[in-house]
Amino acid sequence: MRVTISNIKEMKARGEKIPMITAYDYTSARIVDAAGIPIILVGDTLGQVVLGYDSTLPVTMDEMIHHTKAVARGSEHSLIVGDMPFMSYQASVSEALHNAGRFLQEGGAQTVKLEGGVNMATTVQRMVSSGIPVMGHIGLTPQSVNQMGGYKVQGKTLKSAVRLMEDARSLEEAGAFALVLECVPTSLARLITERVSIPTIGIGAGKECDGQVQVFHDMLGLFTDFVPKHAKRYANLGETIAAAVAEYMSEVKDQSFPNREHSYHIKEEILADLQAKVH
């Protein structure tokens, strides 16, 4: 049975921490789902770690739907959150509803995530009233990186901290079932977590959030262009894969691969008959 938004809210109520990981394809979804992770985020970070863009901004709805479908096919239990890409929800509420609906109808997700606080509350409310569960995202919102002047910690001044508190409350009131806090000072993230009834999922926001989210490729050492401060590497699979590829190349060149174990055979008498017939 798949995890529901009610299950996620219940985890906060009983003080159980909520792990969330990104996945972008069938294979990674299978691995994450089998591990028992309750929430899979099909993040627009796929723009950088899968598609090679220099930010999340070029990611399209069609690309997000394509990858969300693959994740849906690879998971049976995790709650799937489709990350709404840049300009798929900002222009109008009707366009936001249409695109959010695509994630559920075409992509196989159960929920969507969007960036923004007070300015997105009306959109979130309309989505929720239309039957689309929404996860909010405040703090550092990468789709607004040009307006923010770079990837910077948010909420370090009194004015910006008050604004983030207002963002959190407005999303809660609009009906969001959970809230991502990205690159927010730990003490502020704790205050937000204490003062909203919905679960908070931190990324660079300290351990007192109700849960944490990490990018699959960051935590496994698969993406090496840069490593965010808030990412912890639990494995260096990039190095392991590079060594395996080098070993394969060496074995092909010295003809130690493929050997008999990796080859198919026919009986010697059939081979003899064949040779007699073809010359």
Q: What tens digit of pLDDT does each residue of 101-111 get?
A: 999 999 999 99
pLDDT higher than threshold 90 for residue 224: no
Same domain, 130 and 229: yes
Task: Give the confidence band of 61 by pLDDT, cuts at 50, 70, 90.
Answer: very high
Same domain, 254 and 178: no
Domains held by the chain: number: 2
Q: 144: domain CATH number? A: 3.20.20.60
Distances (CA, A) of 35 to 21, 28, 38, 126, 250: 11, 11, 9, 34, 34
Same domain, 153 and 35: yes
* Residue with the larger pLDDT of the pair 226 and 67: 67
Q: What is the pLDDT of residue 203?
A: 97
Same domain, 168 and 264: no
Q: What is the pLDDT of residue 124?
A: 98
Task: Give the confidence band of 152 by pLDDT, cuts at 50, 70, 90.
Answer: confident
Q: Are 46 and 24 in contact (CB under 8 A)?
A: yes
Q: What is the pLDDT of residue 197?
A: 98
Same domain, 159 and 139: yes
Same domain, 103 and 187: yes
Helix or strand (DSSP H, E) at 20? strand 18-22
Same domain, 229 and 245: no
Same domain, 230 and 250: no
Same domain, 70 and 106: yes
Q: What is the pLDDT of residue 223?
A: 92
Per-residue pLDDT of 158-216, as tens digits, reads 999 999 999 999 999 999 999 999 999 999 999 999 999 999 999 999 999 999 999 99
pLDDT higher than threshold 90 for residue 145: no
Range(s) of the domain holding residue 273: 240-278
Q: What is the pLDDT of residue 229?
A: 86
Q: What is the pLDDT of residue 34?
A: 98
Same domain, 175 and 118: yes
Q: What is the pLDDT of residue 17?
A: 98
Same domain, 84 and 194: yes
User: Could you give the residue numbers annotated as active site?
Assistant: 182
93-105 helix and 121-129 helix, angle to the nearest 10 degrees: 50
Same domain, 88 and 14: yes
User: Nearest to residue 24, comparing CAs of 76, 77, 80?
Assistant: 80
What average pLDDT does range 43-72 have in this prediction? 97
Q: What is the CA radius of gyration of the chain?
A: 23
> In the predicted model, what is the mean pLDDT of the chain?
96
Predicted TM-score (pTM) of this structure: 0.94
Per the omega criterion (within 30 degrees of 0), is the bond before 258 cis? yes
pLDDT higher than threshold 90 for residue 148: no
Alpha helices (H) along the chain: 5-13, 26-34, 46-49, 61-74, 93-105, 121-129, 145-148, 158-174, 186-195, 216-219, 237-254, 268-278
Task: Give the confidence band of 228 by pLDDT, cuts at 50, 70, 90.
Answer: confident
pLDDT higher than threshold 80 for residue 279: no
Q: What is the pLDDT of residue 10?
A: 98
Residue where a domain stops, chosen among 204, 219, 235: 235
Per-residue pLDDT of 112-129, as tens digits, reads 999 999 999 999 999 999
What average pLDDT does range 239-251 have in this prediction? 97
Q: What is the pLDDT of residue 149?
A: 79
